[in-house]
Amino acid sequence: MNAIETKNLTKCFGAVTAVDALDLTVREGELFALLGVNGAGKTTTIKMLSGLLKPTDGTARILGYDLAGELPAIKPLLAVSPQETAVAPNLTVRENLELIAGIYGSDRARVQKMIDELGLKKAEKFKAKTLSGGWQRRLSIAMALVSDPKLLFLDEPTLGLDVLARRELWKVIEGLRGKVTVILTTHYMEEAEQLSDRVGVMNEGRLLMSGTPRELLDAAGTENFEEAFVRLAGGETA
């Protein structure tokens, strides 16, 4: 089954078209990266697919449900880790996880599982606001996973992190492969290449191409992923 199917999905803000007639299919269990420069329409796409923004035009089916008419049925199945760290600052790591688990009706064992699996044990009693950026991101992803979602949106999960913290988060994200459908937005080429089963390249609101990292390299006629992105985003193909 496809986790996501969009047809002609469009979002306009006044005269500006942020997402332009997006046709996208993501299979269940796939780790799909939306790659694009700032303002390419990645975050707007995620916001539409997670029910935060109403599409101007087009349709979307999420996990078999119609996004426009069946949002209450979709919401318990998806989770979002927004671009900026989304944690309750005065709550401890464990309390943050318990809050989200409570909202989604997950049990306490799931909280412990997330603490163990995401290596949060040594920080579990610390207030979220006292954590470093990397730990806050890790907590933010754990909060998204604690509800055991079928579909997870990770919006620029490693933005602003140092190399070590980024690599740590990569391990976490790679661990999700095959268990959860993950839509990851990033403008780091190596991140998309390293983590994703398939990549969609967006520019100025349009999906220019989607395929495996190998297919994108072949289409651009280069072995360098960054070069491939530059060529594809610039409209060049081999």
Partner 1 sequence: MKRTLCFAKRNLKEIVRDPISAGFGIVLPIAILVLLSIINSNIADEAKNDMFEITKLAPGIGVFGLSFVSLFAALLIAKDRGSSFMLRLYTSPMTGSDFILGYALPLVPMAAAQLIVCFAAAIALGLPVSVNILLCIAVCLPIMIVNIAIGLICGTCLNEKAVGGLCGALLTNLTAWLSGCWFPLDLLGGTFKTVAYILPFANAVDAARAAIDGRYSDIPGTLWVVCVWAVCLMAIAVAVFAQKKKLK
Among positions 2, 83, 112, 194, the unique one binding partner 1 when judged by CB under 8 A:
83
Among positions 29, 76, 119, 211, the unique one binding partner 1 when judged by CB under 8 A:
76
Among positions 82, 157, 200, 213, the unique one binding partner 1 when judged by CB under 8 A:
82
CB of 20 to partner 1, least distance (A): 18
Near partner 1 in 96-125, by CB under 8 A: 98-100, 102-105
- Considering only the stretches 83-91, 157-165, 199-207, 213-221, report the one whose residues sit in contact with partner 1 under the rule CB under 8 A: 83-91
For the window 218-237, what string marks contact with partner 1 as x by the rule CB under 8 A? --------------------
Does residue 87 belong to the site contacting partner 1 (CB under 8 A)? yes
Q: How far, in Å, are 63, 87, 142 from residue 95 at the CA level?
A: 30, 10, 12
Does residue 190 belong to the site contacting partner 1 (CB under 8 A)? no
Tokens 């269940």 — which residue? 28
Does residue 56 belong to the site contacting partner 1 (CB under 8 A)? no
For the window 21-50, what string marks contact with partner 1 as x by the rule CB under 8 A? -----------------------------x
The residues binding partner 1 (CB under 8 A) are 50-54, 72, 75-76, 78-91, 95, 98-100, 102-105, 127, 143-144, 147
